[in-house]
Homo-oligomer: A and B are copies of this chain.
C-alpha cells in the first residue's frame, strides 16, 4: 500500500520532447509516494510554461528558471520535499547545488556532470538542513541486481575473479539527428565522453554495485565509428580491480540488433552469476560443480534476499525498467521520511563523482593508447 501522505515533488527539465523526465515522473507515481507540484521544465520559458500546464502544475509553481524555483519553493510552507533533475549532463550540477543549498532533497540523473571539476565542486557543497542526494543509477533498483549484490557480499561466489560487463545499443549506428541524439553527441553538453558517459558509466556502476569491487586501473580504447561524430560511440575497456580481480567492459551505440542490452557476468572461485536487463526477472546462479540454477524475481527459495528487494507482483509476472526506477524513488522517499533501511543500496553523490572519474580515466587512457589509469590519476 502506498503512504497516506504524499511527498511534494518538483522537476527541473523534462518538458515536451524530453525522454528521461517522463520516466522519472512514472517512477515517482508507481508506488504513490510523490505528487508533482512544481517545475522548471525547460530552459525555454514558453516551453516551460506549456509543459507545466500540460502536467497540471499550478501557474505560480511552473518556473522559468531553476534558481528562482529553488528560492521560491524553499520559502513556501508547502514547498517541495524533493526535486528531480532531468536535464542534459552539463545542466545537472547547477540545479543540484541550488536545491541542496536551499535545503531541498535532490534526485539527479546520471552522469553527475559533464566535467569532473563540476562533479567535485558539487561534492563539496554543504546541503542545508541535511538535504539528501540520490543519483538515479536505475539498474541498481532491479530486484535481482540487488539480490546478486547481497549473494556476492554473503560469499556465495567466493573470491571474485572475473567481471564481464556490457551495454550494447544500436541507435547511433548511422548518423542521426534528433533531440536525444544531438545533446548526447555534443561535447559541450555531454562532456568529454559520448558512449562512455551515456551508457559506459551505467555498466561500470552496475559492476561496482553488484560486486563491491574497487577499481585499481583501467585500459581503454574508445572509438568514434560514425564519420563526423565528435564523441566515442564504442568503448572497449580492460579492468583491474583491487585485490586481483579482472574485468572487461564493452559499451556500444553501434551494435545492430541490440536495443538496450546492459548485462553482466561475474565469476568467483565458488560460482558465477549472470544477469541481463532484457530478461530482468531471471538470473543464472552457477555454484561450481552443480547445475545452473535459474533464480527468478521473488521466485522459489530466494537466496540472499532482504528488505531491499522490492517486489510488487507474484513471480512470473514480469516487472521491468520502470519498476526498478520506481524502487529508487520509493527508497529515497523512505530516506526523506527518516527511514534509512535501504539507504545503503542507494547511489550517492560519491558514486556520481566516481562515475565522472571513471569517464575521465577512460578518456585519458584512450588518449594515451590504452595506458593503465586509476581513478586517482584524473
Q: Does A229 contact B (CB under 8 A)?
A: no
The reply to whether A281 and B281 contact each other, CB–CB distance below 8 Å, is no
Q: Does A177 contact B (CB under 8 A)?
A: no
Q: Does A8 contact B (CB under 8 A)?
A: no
Contacts of A254 in B (CB 8 A): 161-162, 267, 269
Contacts of A31 in B (CB 8 A): 26
Contacts of A53 in B (CB 8 A): 4
Q: Does A307 contact B (CB under 8 A)?
A: no
The reply to whether A248 and B236 contact each other, CB–CB distance below 8 Å, is yes
The reply to whether A259 and B314 contact each other, CB–CB distance below 8 Å, is yes
Task: In the complex, identify which listed stretch (A101-109, A115-123, A166-174) lies at the interface while the others stay far away.
Answer: A166-174
Cα(A293)–Cα(B284), bound, Å: 10
Q: Does A304 contact B (CB under 8 A)?
A: no
Interface bits A268-291 vs B (CB < 8 Å: 1, else 0) = 111110100111110011111111
What is the oligomeric copy number? Answer: 4
The reply to whether B296 and A294 contact each other, CB–CB distance below 8 Å, is no
Q: Which 4 A-B pairs have the closest CB atoms?
A: A257-B286, A259-B316, A260-B316, A4-B56
The reply to whether B4 and A225 contact each other, CB–CB distance below 8 Å, is no
The reply to whether B312 and A26 contact each other, CB–CB distance below 8 Å, is yes
The reply to whether A238 and B240 contact each other, CB–CB distance below 8 Å, is no
Name the residue of chain B whose CB is nearest to the CB of A1: B54
Residues 288 to 314 of chain A near chain B (Cβ within 8 Å): 288-296, 299-301, 312-314
Q: Which of B3, B270, B278, B315 contacts A56 (CB 8 A)?
A: B3
The reply to whether A267 and B259 contact each other, CB–CB distance below 8 Å, is no
Q: Which of B30, B244, B279, B296 contacts A279 (CB 8 A)?
A: B279
Contacts of A234 in B (CB 8 A): 161-162, 246
Q: Which of B32, B272, B301 contacts A289 (CB 8 A)?
A: B301
Tell me the A residues contacting B by CB distance below 8 Å.
1-6, 16, 19, 22-23, 25-26, 29-32, 51, 53-56, 157, 161-162, 164, 169-171, 173-174, 219, 221, 223, 225, 234, 236, 238, 240, 244, 246-248, 250, 252, 254-261, 265, 267-272, 274, 277-281, 284-296, 299-301, 312-323, 369-370, 372
Closest chain B CB from A80 CB (angstroms): 17
User: Do most interface residues of chain A lie in helix, strand or loop, or is the interface mixed?
Assistant: loop
The reply to whether B285 and A318 contact each other, CB–CB distance below 8 Å, is no
The reply to whether A256 and B313 contact each other, CB–CB distance below 8 Å, is no
Q: Which of B164, B174, B280, B293 contacts A318 (CB 8 A)?
A: B280
Cα(A281)–Cα(B286), bound, Å: 17
Cα(A6)–Cα(B270), bound, Å: 46
Closest chain B CB from A62 CB (angstroms): 11
Name the residue of chain B whose CB is nearest to the CB of A20: B313
Q: Which of B259, B267, B312 contacts A22 (CB 8 A)?
A: B312
Contacts of A372 in B (CB 8 A): 369-370
Known: A286-B256, A290-B300. A246 touches B236 (CB 8 A): yes
The reply to whether B238 and A255 contact each other, CB–CB distance below 8 Å, is no
Known: A281-B278, A319-B321. A238 touches B261 (CB 8 A): no
Q: Which of B269, B274, B370 contacts A238 (CB 8 A)?
A: B370
